[in-house]
Structure 1
Amino acid sequence: MRHLVILGAGTAGTMIANKLRHRLDRIEWSITVVDRDDEHHYQPGYLFLPFGGYSRKQVVRSRHAFLPAGVDFVVGMIDRVVADENVVLLEDGRRLPYDQLVIATGTTPRPDQTPGMLGTEWRRSIFDFYTLEGAEALAGALTRFDSGRLVVHITEMPIKCPVAPLEFTFLVEAWLRERGIRDRVELVYVTPLDGAFTKPVASAQLGGMLEERKVHVETDFLVERIDTERKVLVSYDEREVPFDLLVTIPLNMGADFVARSGLGDELNYVPVDKHTQLSPEFKNIFAIGDASDIPASKAGSVAHFSVEIFVDNFLEHIAGRPMTGAFDGHANCFVEAGDDKALLIDFNYDTEPLTGKYPFPVVGPMDLLKATRVNHLGKLAFRWIYWNVLLPGRPVPLPALMSMTGKHVPEPEPDQQEA
């Protein structure tokens, strides 16, 4: 019998287990999934927790409940992968041999990597919402905050769901207005990017929304440390941003076992071919979702679309045939805009988010890069889709590869004439 071992029972790992268990011969292949605990978190729900939108019960369920019969679920901490011996070692001494390995252990906020972030002000005036505990603590802090300087800060890219900091900013601005205290709060958005987002069309639209809501944007800010005594962010070029309440997105990194295994880059992401997710060094190791170094958003939609391509590729790969599928970096994300509206962005490696309709031209029903009630309802509906369709590996009626259908390509600007 041959052994497929999947490290990580998050979005990508769970989908792969469900899809491949139905496609691999049970006599020929065993499937083992490994994770540190039995709690599967719906991470997009963290965004709403600080505002009382979701409860813990709505965002946490059992991991094994979403794994199919015929898949072994192992709870344990991963020590390292010994790639030359085709074995995974757990911290308790267990050994899991594999013929094919899929690393799907995601990415994690690491506040310990920024001096001062985990100091005396952590969870007092400095909060995150990329963890369940952080989002719950922030909920309490927001109820006590009624005036001062609220700073939303991104430490460095890449991060999980790169639009989430913008979403939080729009939501907290609307929440402050609803409480009647917006005029008593100065909002600041601090980013290492040169604008609100990474691509020109979306950056202009989202940056314009920040400007309309009187949110000051501090760009190209690479934090060197946090001065907790003075409550100040300090950049490498010695700029300072003071705060009364700091909502930060810490540096995101892949799992530590990746570094111990010699499989990762400086942020513990596994280098892979961006179209097939196969390691260029080890021909039986794949990395899927947030765990890989592909130049795409670290978002659930990327995990979903890449898994659709991966499954057929994997079956070709183990049969000794060339992999014919090529993932294009497809991502689409709802962007909460506050006031019960949201935008939708759809893009890939080569095409930036554009305006238009999705998924069908003219009829949509969703607008791209436009704040609408329909998009907001789509964002809320996704939680049900996630638990009941996506994780179980059921078909989702959306193409895995990005389509230009319904998108408006901006006209190229005319060349400037020489004087």
Structure 2
Amino acid sequence: MKNLLILGAGSAGTMMANHLSKKMSLKSWSITIVDQFDKHYYQPGFLFLPFDVYKEEDVYRERTDYLPNNINYVQKAIDIIKPEINQVVLADGTILKYDLLIIATGSQIAPGEVEGMQGSEWHKSVFDFYTFEGSRNLRDKLRDWKGGDMVIHITEMPIKCPVAPLEFAFLADWYFHEKGMRDKVNIYYVTPLDGAFTKPVASSKLGHLLKEKGINIVPDFAIAKLDNENKKIVSWDEKEVSFDLLVTIPTNMGDEVIARSGMGDDLNFVPTNKHTLQSSNFENVFVIGDATNVPASKAGSVAHFEAEILTENIMRYIKGEPLKEDFDGHANCFVETGYGKAMLIDFNYTTQPVPGNFPFPGVGPMKLLKENKVNHWGKLGFRWIYWNMLMKGHSIPFITAQMQKAGKELEEEKLETV
């Protein structure tokens, strides 16, 4: 009996467990998945929780409800990976041996990377919304907040779901309008990028939306420290932005177990072949989702597309067949723009988001890079798809793992995504 070990039972790990439990011969292979937490969070829901669109119970489920019954689940923390001897040591000293390893340990916020970020104002006037606790605490703050300068800030790239900070800005604009206090709130969007987004066409479109909604963009801001006493953020070139309420996206880093194991880069992301999803350094190790260093967006849709391709490559590896270099960096994201509307963007390693129709080239019904209500309902409906299809290892009809170019107004190509 050989052992396949999956580290992490979040979105990517859960999808892989469900895909592989259906494909692999469980008479020859034992599948084990390890995670220290009992709850599975729907992280896209953290965007809606602060605005009371979702309730707390809408954004989590019991982890075991989405893991297949024919695999082993170990709910323990991981101490270290020893890839040279094919072993993983858990926090309680338990040793798990493997023949194949899939790393799906995700990424997490690291506010301690910026001087002062976790100071006296943390979760008082300085909040994140990339964690359940941060999102919930921000909701409580917004319910009674009387207005002032709201600063939405990105520390550095890459981050999980690169469009989420923009969505937060758009939803905040709508939220304060609905509360009849938009005139009491100045919204600033502070980013290390030179525009609203990483891709030129989308950046221009989203930048115009920020201006239309009266949201002030502060580009090229590389934060050096957060001054809690004076409530301001300061850049390395000594620019300052004051705030009454700061909503920050801290540095995103891979799990600390990757650093302890000596398997990651400076941000603890695992070097990974961007087309096969095989570890760059260890033949029998594969990496998926936010844990990788591949130049694709760290988003649930990317993990979903990766899972379909990685499943085939795992099966090919077991059979001794060459791996397919099929992952093209495909990302597909709804962008909430407020007032019951949303955009949709679809791109990959070489093709930036452009206008067009999706998923059917001629008719859509969803429009790319265009606000409408259909896209908004698609965004809200994705929660059902997430729980009932993706986490159970089912594909979404008509949406392929590789990006389709039909139906898109392709103007510029050969752009490397971040």
Q: Specify the TM-score bucket, using the shorter chain as the normaliser.
A: over 0.9
Q: What is the letter of the counterpart of residue 192 of structure 2?
A: P
Do the aligned partners of 2:351 and 2:412 also contact (CA within 8 Å) in 1? Answer: no
Do the aligned partners of 2:8 and 2:103 also contact (CA within 8 Å) in 1? Answer: yes
- The yes-or-no answer on 1:36 pairing with 2:36 is yes
**CA drift at 1:248:** 0.4
- The yes-or-no answer on 1:361 pairing with 2:343 is no
Q: What is the letter of the counterpart of residue 403 of structure 2?
A: M
CA distance in 2, matches of 1:110, 1:299: 18
Alignment of 1:375-390 (within 5 A): 375-390=375-390
**CA drift at 1:93:** 0.4
CA distance in 1, matches of 2:412, 2:232: 43
Q: What residue is the counterpart of 1:393 in the other structure?
A: 393
Q: What residue is the counterpart of 1:233 in the other structure?
A: 233
Q: What residue is the counterpart of 1:402 in the other structure?
A: 403
Q: What residue is the counterpart of 1:245 in the other structure?
A: 245
**CA drift at 1:135:** 0.6
**CA drift at 1:116:** 0.7
**CA drift at 1:85:** 0.8
In the TM superposition, structure 1's runs of 4+ consecutive aligned residues that sit over 6 Å from their partners are: none
Deviation digits for residues 233-275 of structure 1, max 9, x if unmatched? 0001110000000000011000001011110000000001000
Q: What residue is the counterpart of 2:179 in the other structure?
A: 179
CA distance in 2, matches of 1:7, 1:287: 10
What secondary structure is seen at the aligned counterpart in 2 of 1:246? Answer: strand
Do the aligned partners of 1:102 and 1:288 also contact (CA within 8 Å) in 2? Answer: yes
What secondary structure is seen at the aligned counterpart in 1 of 2:84? Answer: helix
Q: What residue is the counterpart of 1:257 in the other structure?
A: 257
Q: What residue is the counterpart of 2:214 in the other structure?
A: 214
Q: What residue is the counterpart of 1:122 in the other structure?
A: 122
Q: What is the letter of the counterpart of residue 44 of structure 2?
A: P
CA distance in 2, matches of 1:310, 1:37: 24
Q: What is the letter of the counterpart of residue 223 of structure 2?
A: V
Q: What residue is the counterpart of 1:195 in the other structure?
A: 195
Q: What residue is the counterpart of 2:169 in the other structure?
A: 169
Q: What residue is the counterpart of 2:416 in the other structure?
A: none
Alignment of 1:146-161 (within 5 A): 146-161=146-161
CA distance in 2, matches of 1:156, 1:324: 32
**CA drift at 1:292:** 0.3
CA distance in 2, matches of 1:279, 1:130: 27
Q: What is the letter of the counterpart of residue 409 of structure 1?
A: L
Q: What residue is the counterpart of 2:105 in the other structure?
A: 105
Unaligned stretches of 5+ residues in structure 1: 413-419
Q: What is the letter of the counterpart of residue 280 of structure 1?
A: S
Do the aligned partners of 1:362 and 1:406 also contact (CA within 8 Å) in 2? Answer: yes
TM-score by length of 1: 0.97
CA distance in 2, matches of 1:407, 1:283: 37
Alignment of 1:59-74 (within 5 A): 59-74=59-74
**CA drift at 1:325:** 4.2
Q: What residue is the counterpart of 1:91 in the other structure?
A: 91
**CA drift at 1:147:** 2.1
**CA drift at 1:411:** 8.1
Alignment of 1:4-23 (within 5 A): 4-23=4-23
Q: What is the letter of the counterpart of residue 410 of structure 1?
A: E
CA distance in 2, matches of 1:410, 1:394: 33
Q: What is the letter of the counterpart of residue 5 of structure 2?
A: V
Number of equivalenced pairs? 412
Unaligned stretches of 5+ residues in structure 2: 414-418
Deviation digits for residues 304-341 of structure 1, max 9, x if unmatched? 00111111111111111101241000000000000010
Q: Which moved more, 1:96-105 or 1:312-321?
A: 312-321
CA distance in 2, matches of 1:145, 1:353: 36
Do the aligned partners of 1:86 and 1:98 also contact (CA within 8 Å) in 2? Answer: yes
Change (3 A) 1:118 1:411: closer
| RMSD of Structure 2 on Structure 1 (CA) | 1.0
CA distance in 1, matches of 2:113, 2:200: 30
- The yes-or-no answer on 1:312 pairing with 2:281 is no
Q: What is the letter of the counterpart of residue 403 of structure 1?
A: Q
- The yes-or-no answer on 1:24 pairing with 2:28 is no
**CA drift at 1:184:** 1.4
Do the aligned partners of 1:127 and 1:247 also contact (CA within 8 Å) in 2? Answer: yes
**CA drift at 1:64:** 1.3
**CA drift at 1:232:** 0.6
Aligned residues: percent identity? Answer: 55
Alignment of 1:300-379 (within 5 A): 300-379=300-379
What secondary structure is seen at the aligned counterpart in 1 of 2:350? Answer: coil
**CA drift at 1:42:** 0.3
